[in-house]
């Protein structure tokens, strides 16, 4: 029997387009579909297989588009449905698949359903979680759950009842026990599949179903939630009932050819729990966030890789590697400070590091090495826009410029995620470094003064730039790694993670001294210029077997 050829999504490199900050086609300072269409040649030239576009639906932007007012249309600031369809067609013509972002845990408070609920339309409140309060006159929230962004997860409305929002008050949680909610989302999936979209990233895929009765968390500390791995047993997350929803979604996807796929954003307590989302009749892939939380330590990297691969294998799913996204500190900055022994708690790191100056030169060196590790592993990889430019987190935004609801909801103690969402620098010309095609309007988040040197234009002409490293890596990945088989670790020292796949090797040195490289292999790609014979600290290489000398 011929070996089964893997489907594209089992080995794909997916580029995450944070639409608001990718490229601005009409010069109003906000990224849009026109800008994306202009930049498709850039994405094709990078060598990625697919894009995932963050939510582009009409939204009051209480949480940067994760508060959706209408799931079947396009946010006017981003364009029109016709433009969206043109983008999908043009991406396909360029060999790029298109994944959208579906937000099923909550709607916007401006969604027609929530407005109907507030207006007291019969039955409308059952689509959400409305409850009377506790205490005298119901002035206390119905339970002790806290919002991920800070403060209580409940807001009181004019008639005195409360509604649940695990995120911002503008993001009321849907009630997935309600049949109308279930039917509506299957219909929304079909709406976009009918328009040629190849799949969806599922926002908060471990949410949606809550423990019946919405009980208090058992211990008060657990009431405080975050976007990091949720703890086992919390009544709002990772409930067994959620899997039935995905069986329904999978049957919708299965009606389509070519294949339509799902990728889950599920911050659950272990890779075993995550694998449950990937059973053959559920979702195709799920982000394995331990990789994104790993400190710069070879032994942690090895353990994280082994655990992710083993858990995914139990359900026949490809492992899915991600170094950063629009919710966490950029990779360069994560690696620019002292490294803990254990997995990083992503929200907490912003506070932990206050006072320790980042060494971005070091962070960049490590981020480049990490990219080579990520792209050599089996399975699929996600690249967040700007990673290919080695952009750093912008940590000194003026407070007045901050947009992330985390800032206000935390009582101005957590600066939130704006620092990883700064508009991309395309060229060296201020203002906006080519982000906006016509200059004029200020970009929606201010760009730093020194980003000309990190722009696409500047990196294009530098053969050693991170952009050119990604281009080379994505090209070589196809021949060296894509179909190369299992990871076999090589025992070469505590501070080195080195593995072989299909005769090629990937080595990364997280220690502080040089490590000799094998003489019988040649360097196919190195994360730093000038690597020869030894692997310097904070560097990775791809090695291939030397050609046998001709007789």
- Residues forming contacts to ligand NOJ in the complex (CB under 6 A) are 63, 66, 103, 167, 203-204, 265, 326-327
Output the smallest distance, CB 216 to ligand NOJ, in A. 23
Shortest reach from residue 71's CB to ligand NOJ, in Å: 13
How far is Cα 252 from Cα 249, in angstroms, rounded to an integer? 5
Q: Does 83 bind Ca ion (CB under 5 A)?
A: no
CB of residue 20 to Ca ion, shortest distance in Å: 9
> 66 contacts which partner out of ligand NOJ, Ca ion, none, CB within 5 to 8 A by kind?
ligand NOJ
Nearest CA to 372 among 525, 145, 521, 523? 525
Least distance to Ca ion, CB of residue 30, Å = 4
Name which of Ca ion, ligand NOJ, none residue 69 binds, using a CB cut-off of 5 to 8 Å depending on partner kind.
none
Q: Which is nearer to ligand NOJ, 287 or 433 (CB)?
A: 287
- State which residue, 30 or 51, has the beta carbon closest to Ca ion: 30
State which of residues 16, 18, 21, 32 lies at the interface with Ca ion (CB under 5 A): 32
Specify whether the CB–CB gap between 117 and 174 falls below 8 A. Answer: no
Residue 154 contacts which entry, Ca ion, ligand NOJ, none (Cβ below 5-8 A, type-dependent): none
Name the binder of 204 from ligand NOJ, Ca ion, none, CB < 5-8 A by kind: ligand NOJ
**Residue 61 engages Ca ion in binding (rule: CB under 5 A):** no
203 catalytically annotated: yes
Q: If DSSP codes are grouped into helix, strand and coil, which group holds residue 438?
A: coil
Handedness of CA 275, 277, 283, 288 (dihedral sign): negative
d(CA 165, CA 111): 14
Residue with tokens 């179909």: 483
Segments in 178-289 forming alpha helices (H): 179-193, 220-223, 242-254, 271-275
Partner from Ca ion, ligand NOJ, none contacting 63, C-beta within 5 to 8 A by type: ligand NOJ
Q: Which of 19, 24, 150, 317 binds Ca ion (CB under 5 A)?
A: 24
Note whether 391 and 330 are within 8 A (CB).
Answer: yes
CB atoms within 10 A of CB 441: 15
What Å distances lie between residue 463 and 372, 477, 528, 539, CA to CA? 17, 18, 11, 17
What is the closest distance, in whole angstroms, from the C-beta atom of residue 326 to ligand NOJ in the complex? 6
Complete DSSP assignment for 460-529: HT-TTSHHHHHHHHHHHHHHHTTT----EE----TTEEEEEETTEEEEEE-SSS-EEPPTTEEEEEESST
- Residue nearer to Ca ion on the CB measure, 30 or 332: 30
Q: Counting contacts by CB under 5 A, is residue 75 touching Ca ion?
A: no
β-pair partners for 488: 500
Torsion sign, CA atoms 528, 532, 536, 538? positive
What is residue 532's DSSP assignment? Answer: B
3-state percent helix, strand, coil for the chain, nearest multiple of 5 = 30, 15, 55
Residue 545: count of CB within 10 angstroms of its CB: 13
- 6, 8, 26, 446: which one contacts Ca ion (CB under 5 A)? 26
Q: Which residue has the CB atom at the shortest distance from Ca ion?
A: 32
Select the binding partner of residue 26 from ligand NOJ, Ca ion, none (C-beta < 5 to 8 A, by kind).
Ca ion
Catalytically annotated residue among 75, 203, 282, 392: 203
Q: Work out how close the CB of 499 gets to ligand NOJ at its nearest, in angstroms, rounded to a whole number.
A: 30
Q: Are 168 and 147 in contact (CB under 8 A)?
A: yes
Pick the stretch among 31-39, 118-126, 309-317, 378-386 that binds Ca ion (CB under 5 A). 31-39
Closest separation in Å from C-beta 25 to Ca ion: 6
Report the partner that residue 24 touches, choosing among Ca ion, ligand NOJ, none (CB closer than 5 to 8 A by kind). Answer: Ca ion
For residue 295, with 0-12 CB atoms within 10 Å meaning exposed, 13-18 middle and 19 or more buried, which class applies?
middle
75 or 500: CB nearest ligand NOJ: 75
Q: Which stretch binds Ca ion (CB under 5 A): 25-33, 119-127, 201-209, 526-534?
A: 25-33
Q: Among 13, 19, 23, 30, which residue sits at the site for Ca ion (rule: CB under 5 A)?
A: 30
Establish if 28 lies at the interface with Ca ion (CB under 5 A). Answer: yes
Nearer to ligand NOJ, 198 or 327 (CB): 327
Give me the catalytic one of 32, 265, 388, 404: 265
- Quick check: 80 binds Ca ion (CB under 5 A)? no
| Residue 242: closest CA among 127, 105, 106 | 105
Which of ligand NOJ, Ca ion, none binds 15 (CB below 5-8 Å, type-dependent)? none
Least distance between ligand NOJ and beta carbon 31 (Å) = 15
Nearer to ligand NOJ, 66 or 382 (CB): 66
Residue ranges in 255-404 assigned as alpha helix (H): 271-275, 290-293, 298-313, 331-334, 346-352, 360-376
What is the number of other CB atoms lying within 10 angstroms of the CB of residue 83?
18
Among this protein's residues, is 63 annotated catalytic? no
Q: Classify residue 211 by burial, with Cβ atoms within 10 Å: 0-12, 13-18, 19+.
A: middle
Give the shortest CB-377-to-ligand NOJ separation in angstroms: 23
Nearer residue to ligand NOJ within complex by CB, 226 or 539: 226
CA distance 227 to 222: 13
414 binds, among Ca ion, ligand NOJ, none (CB under 5 to 8 A by kind): none
Which one, of 286, 501, 467, 464, lies nearest residue 376 by Cα? 501
Closer to ligand NOJ by Cβ: residue 250 or 421:
421
Q: Which residue is nearest to ligand NOJ (CB)?
A: 66
**Which active-site residues does the annotation give?**
203, 265
Which residues of this chain interact with Ca ion, rule CB under 5 A?
Answer: 24, 26, 28, 30, 32
């Amino acid at each position: 029997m011929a070996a089964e050829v893997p489907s594209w999504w089992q080995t794909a490199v997916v580029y995450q387009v944070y639409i608001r900050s990718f490229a601005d086609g009409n010069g109003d300072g906000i990224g849009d579909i026109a800008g994306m269409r202009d930049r498709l040649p850039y994405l094709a030239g990078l060598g990625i297989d697919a894009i995932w576009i963050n939510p582009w639906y009409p939204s009051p932007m209480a949480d940067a588009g994760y508060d959706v007012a209408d799931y079947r249309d396009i946010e006017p600031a981003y364009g029109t449905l016709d433009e969206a369809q043109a983008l999908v067609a043009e991406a396909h013509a360029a060999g790029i698949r298109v994944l959208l972002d579906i937000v099923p845990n909550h709607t916007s408070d401006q969604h027609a359903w929530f407005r109907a609920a507030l207006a007291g339309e019969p039955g409308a409140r059952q689509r959400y979680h409305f409850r009377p309060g506790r205490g005298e006159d119901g002035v206390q929230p119905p339970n002790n759950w806290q919002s991920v962004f800070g403060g209580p997860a409940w807001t009181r409305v004019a008639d005195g009842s409360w509604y649940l929002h695990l995120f911002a008050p503008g993001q009321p949680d849907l009630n997935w026990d309600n049949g109308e909610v279930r039917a509506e989302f299957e219909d929304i999936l079909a709406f976009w599949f009918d328009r040629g979209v190849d799949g969806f990233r599922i926002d908060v895929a471990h949410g949606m179903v809550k423990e019946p009765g919405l009980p208090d968390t058992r211990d008060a500390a657990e009431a405080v939630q975050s976007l990091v791995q949720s703890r086992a047993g919390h009544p709002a997350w990772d409930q067994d009932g959620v899997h039935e929803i995905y069986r329904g979604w999978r049957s919708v996807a299965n009606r389509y050819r070519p294949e339509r796929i799902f990728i889950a954003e599920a911050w659950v307590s272990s890779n075993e729990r995550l694998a449950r989302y990937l059973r053959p009749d559920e979702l195709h892939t799920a982000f394995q966030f331990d990789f994104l939380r790993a400190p710069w330590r070879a032994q942690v990297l090895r353990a994280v890789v082994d655990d992710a691969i083993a858990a995914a294998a139990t359900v026949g799913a490809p492992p899915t590697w991600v170094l950063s996204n629009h919710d966490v500190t950029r990779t360069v900055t994560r690696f620019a400070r002292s490294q803990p022994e254990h997995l990083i708690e992503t929200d907490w790191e912003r506070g932990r590091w206050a006072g320790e100056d980042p060494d971005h030169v070091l962070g960049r060196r490590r981020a480049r090495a990490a990219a080579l590790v990520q792209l050599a592993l089996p399975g699929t990889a996600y690249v967040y826009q700007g990673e290919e430019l080695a952009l750093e987190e912008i940590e000194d935004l003026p407070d007045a410029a901050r947009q992330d609801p985390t800032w206000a909801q935390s009582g101005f103690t957590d600066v939130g995620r704006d620092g990883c969402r700064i508009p991309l620098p395309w060229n060296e010309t201020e203002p906006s470094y080519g982000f906006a095609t016509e200059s004029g309007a200020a970009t929606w988040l201010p760009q730093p003064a020194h980003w000309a040197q990190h722009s696409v234009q500047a990196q294009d002409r530098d053969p050693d730039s991170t952009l050119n490293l990604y281009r080379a890596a994505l090209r070589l990945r196809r021949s060296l790694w894509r179909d190369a088989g299992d990871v076999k670790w090589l025992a070469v020292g505590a501070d080195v993670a080195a593995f072989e796949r299909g005769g090629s090797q990937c080595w990364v040195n997280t220690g502080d001294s040089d490590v000799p490289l094998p003489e019988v292999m040649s360097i196919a790609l190195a994360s730093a210029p000038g690597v020869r014979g030894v692997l310097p600290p904070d560097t990775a290489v791809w090695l291939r077997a030397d050609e046998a000398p001709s007789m």
